[in-house]
Structures are given as structure tokens and as C-alpha cells.
Amino acid sequence: MASLPSLTKPISQNPITRQTTTDHSHIGSKAVPCRTSLLRSGFLYSQPGSFRNTRTVRSSNQNEALVDSYIKTSDVPLLTCSEATERLKAHRENHKGKQEFLAMYSSIFGGITTDPSAMVIPIDDHMVHRGHGVFDTAAIMDGYLYELDQHLNRIIRSAAMAKINLPFDKEDIRSILIKTVSASKCRNGSLRYWLSAGPGDFQLSPSSHNKPALYAVVIQDQLPFDSKGVKVITSSVPMKPPQFATMKSVNYLPNVLSKLEAEENGAFVAIWLDEEGFIAEGPNMNVAFVTKDNELLMPHFDKILSGCTAKRVLTLAERLVSKGKLRGARVANVTVDEGKKASEMMLLGSGVLVRAVLYWDEQVIGDGREGPVTQALLNLLIEDMKSGPPSVLIPIPY
Ligand SMILES: Cc1ncc(COP(=O)(O)O)c(C=O)c1O
């Protein structure tokens, strides 16, 4: 999760410009000079059997292939355990992204490590080779876990739907997650955790080894929080059928392809429509609309992921209703026509929080600016993350 701004900072009221909308098309389209990447990657140092790094980067029109490979010029060496560990460490050092991994719990080694090179999952884990795993998240905000219990309930529901037994009972999982964040010393970031059918073999059915696993990682995000309005498109990648869309499994290929489609079209994300043509959700967020008569509408959660953020926003929106700033807030079937004619459209999720949509396909939403309800809901959510009730804020004992 990106670090948040101070609460009172209002989101921009500037109308969207072409510049803003094309921002997202830059992702994945920059050429990285080979020499720079070689130096940065550190693979110029002399390893036994040196590596040659070749890197070209895919342009948005996909004319060039994206290759980031280390081609060995001599035989593939047989490594001892310590040599392999050293190389894993070197790889981690040389491939630091914008996120830092501070601590990992694994039920496989039955503890917590803060060494990123040890943050690995067995290759025979059913989640790795068959996608038989579910996951969830929770934001870490000023030393508190936000909506941990809501996310925990959801992963347990997802695990039941995926026929994954729990390796521990709910209270123990909760306690392990809190201890992992505590060991990480992270005060602002995010927690991600997985329940998996576990390792054992490479069969399709995990029934010959019933050893479910729990993994958790604490991530320090370096990205600045961005609340600028974005452009979305309608996804041409089919959405998951309700049985799979309502559980948070690790099978995110449709979500990834839908996000890539958006990036290739200069948009932030692509929005799915369900099989009846109603508005569904984005690849990792829910959507909501403010109608012309000032009502907050969210698609029903029966065919999409039941978003913790969206549900919390529905509750927080009642404060705007009681102040007369909204006429009401409810879930409903929302048609594309209603959505595109709305005065405001927003994305809702643990990553984006509340983010205005200013364009959908070629349609300007409302007056093309971040609207007052979107802004008010973002401020309410940030306030809730900083000083909400004990039901949503769990203190971390450092
Ligand atoms: C498909 C999908 N929909 C909605 C959401 C939003 O859920 P939450 O608000 O709990 O993050 C997510 C979150 O990752 C998601 O993956």
C-alpha cells in the first residue's frame, strides 16, 4: 500500500488533461539501456561461469519482446546449498523493486524470517504448480492493522470455497499475522497472507498430502499515495464466473491481463461487466457511482469479490447521508448507461482506497473532475484508517 497523505489534504480539483490520462500508458514502455541495467543488476561481477544480461523492454504496441534473462556462457553449474543461498541473496540485492519485504512467516519453517532471500515457497506447493491457494491483505497504518478481522474472515471464506483446510484455527492465524507485523517493525505498509493446500507432490489432487500451509509477508511500500482521477476502459478479457470471482484465489491471470489491456490503452484499469451486462468490478478493486440525484450506488457483491473497502465505504457514507450530502447509499444492479451518465464514478479497494474515475472509454464522467462525494469518502476512509473504532483498528504490539 502506498503511504498516505495527511488527512486534510483535499484531492485535486483540476480537470483531467490528456497528460494525466496518458500517464498510465508509460508503464512498461520505457527502454532500459542494456549497459545501465547490467551495471544496476550487478551481474557484471565475476561469478563462476559469468552471466550475460540481455534486456529489451516491450513497447506499448508490443513490437519488441520483453526479455530480462541471464544467459550463461558456460555450463549450468551444480550448486551447493550455500552457493545457491548466496546467489539467492545476490539476486535479491540486485533486483530491489519499489517494495521492501520486511518479514515473512511460513508454516513450512514454522517461524518468521527477516532475511528476504529466505522468503521462499516450496516448488511442490499446490499453490505454486496448480494455483490451489487463496490470499488476502490488510493495510498497516501508523502501527495498526486496518480491518484485519474483515480480511481474515474473507480469507477463511475463500479457503472453504477452495476446499483448503486451515493449518491452524482462526485465532492462531490472527496471532501469527500480528506477530509477523510486529517482527517486521513496519508501522506503515501492508500485510499479505496466503492459505495453500501445501507442498507434497506434483499431482492434481492434493488429497495424498493433507498439509495446508500459511505464508505471510510484510511489505514496506515506497510509492507515494496518488489520488488523481484516472481513466478506465471496459475490459475485453472475460471476467471470472461468480464461483471464482467471489473467492480471492491466487488465480489472477484474467485480472493481470485486464490490467495489461488497460495499460496498453493508456488507462489505469479495465472494468468488467457481468454476463448480464451489468457493471461488475475492476481487476483489484470495486466500483461505485454517484447518480445525478445524488445517490451512492455499488454493484451487488453476489458475482464479484466482496470488497472490504467498498463495504466500509458503504457504512461511512451514512455519515454523508445524515449530513444531507448524499440522498442514500445502496447496492444495486448498475447498467453501463447509468454508470457512464453518473455524476461521479470511483474505484474502491485496499490499494487505491477511493479514487475518482474521470473517463470511462471515451465518455467523460460528470464534469471530468474529482467530485465532492468521492473526495469526502476518501477523507472519511483515511480518517477511519487513522482513528477508526477498535473493530477496524488492531494495535500491533512492537
Ligand atoms: C477482484 C477484486 N475486487 C475487489 C477488490 C477490493 O477488495 P478490498 O477492498 O478488500 O481490497 C479486490 C482486492 O484486491 C480484488 O482483487
> What percentage of the chain has pLDDT greater than the value 90?
75
Range of the domain at 39: 31-71
- Read off the CATH number of the domain in which 374 is found: 3.20.10.10
User: What angle (nearest 5°) sits at the alpha carbon of residue 220, between those of residues 21 and 101?
Assistant: 115
Other Cβ atoms closer than 10 A to 108: 17
Using the predicted structure, report yes or no on whether residue 161 has a pLDDT greater than 70.
yes
Looking at the structure, do residues 247 and 362 belong to the same domain, yes or no?
yes
Of 379, 398, 391, the closest CA to residue 7 belongs to 379
What is the structure's pLDDT at 60? 40
In eight-state DSSP terms, residue 99 is E
Helices (H), 64-212: 81-94, 126-130, 148-161, 170-184
Residue 375, pLDDT > 80, answer: yes
Cell numbers found for residue 312: 466500509
Indicate whether 232 and 275 sit together in one domain.
yes
- Among 240, 248, 259, 340, which one carries the catalytic annotation? 248
Q: What is the CA radius of gyration of the chain?
A: 22
Evaluate: CB of 371 within 6 angstroms of ligand 1.
no
Domain identity same for 283 and 357: yes
For residue 213, the domain's CATH number is 3.30.470.10
> pLDDT higher for 223 or 275?
275
Whether the predicted pLDDT of 132 surpasses 90:
yes
Domain boundary pick from 221, 248, 283: 221
Among 284, 346, 354, say which to mutate for ligand 1: greatest number of ligand atoms within 8 Å of CB: 284
Residue 247 lies in a domain: yes
Residue 291 lies in a domain: yes
What separation in Å is there between the alpha carbon of 137 and the centre of ligand 1? 9
Same domain for 246 and 344?
yes
Give a yes or no: residue 10 inside a domain: no
CA-based torsion, 228, 232, 238, 243: positive or negative:
positive
313 lines ligand 1 (CB under 6 A): no
Query: Which residues have C-beta within 8 Å of that of residue 36, sequence separation ≥ 6?
Result: none
Distance (Å) from CA 65 to ligand 1 centroid: 31
Residue 180 within any structural domain of the chain:
yes
> Which residue would you say has higher pLDDT here, 116 or 315?
315
CA dist 41 and 39 (Å) reads 6
Question: Is 261 part of any domain?
Answer: yes
Residues 235 and 363 grouped into a single domain = yes
Residue 180 near ligand 1, beta carbon < 6 Å = no
233 in the same domain as 211: no
The pTM for the full model equals 0.84
Q: Which residue has the higher pLDDT, 209 or 16?
A: 209
Element (H, E) at 330: strand 328-332
- The last residue of a domain, from among 195, 221, 247: 221
Known catalytic residue: 248?
Answer: yes
Kindly state if the Cβ of 374 falls inside 6 Å of ligand 1: no
Let me know if residue 166 belongs to a domain: yes
- State whether 197 and 323 are in the same domain: no
Is 307 close to ligand 1, i.e. is its CB under 6 Å away? yes
In a domain, 205, yes or no: yes
Pull the grid cell for residue 354.
477511493
The ligand 1 atom nearest the CA atom of 147: 10
Ramachandran category for residue 191: left, alpha or beta (phi over 0 → left; psi -120 to 50 → alpha)? beta
Range in 17-31, 75-89, 93-107 the model is least confident about: 17-31
**Which of 286, 287, 353 is the pocket-test mutation for ligand 1 (most atoms within 8 Å of CB)?**
286
d(CA 185, CA 78): 37
Task: Clarify whether residues 237 and 322 are in a common domain.
Answer: yes
- Tell me, yes or no, whether 213 and 260 share the same domain: no
Query: Are residues 192 and 265 both part of a single domain?
Result: no
Mean pLDDT, residues 320-342 taken together: 97
Residue that is written with C-alpha cell 467530485 in the block: 371
Give the Cα separation of 259 and 271 in Å (integer): 9
Average pLDDT rounded to a whole number, residues 177-190: 97
Is there an atom of ligand 1 within 6 Å of 286 CB?
yes
Residue 350 Cβ contacting ligand 1 at under 6 Å = yes
- Asked if residue 1 is part of any domain, the answer here is no
Q: Which of 155, 188, 221 is the last residue of a domain?
A: 221
> Into how many domains does the chain fold?
3
pLDDT, one tens digit per residue, over 299-319 is 999 999 999 999 999 999 999
Going 68 to 72 to 78 to 80, the CA torsion angle's sign is negative
Q: What residue type is 169 in one-letter code?
A: D
Confidence of residue 221 (pLDDT cuts 50, 70, 90): confident
* Ranges of H-type helices in 59-143: 81-94, 126-130
- Do residues 270 and 374 both lie within one domain? yes
Residue closest via CA to ligand 1's atom 4 equals 285
Find the 286 Cα to ligand 1 centroid distance in Å: 6
* Interval 269-289: pLDDT, tens: 999 999 999 999 999 999 999
Q: How sure is the predictor about 1, in pLDDT bands with cuts at 50, 70 and 90?
A: low
* Mean pLDDT calculated for residue range 107-116: 96
Q: Nearest residue CA, atom 2 of ligand 1?
A: 284
* Ligand 1 pocket residue status of 388, Cβ below 6 Å: no
- 270 and 337, same domain (yes or no): yes
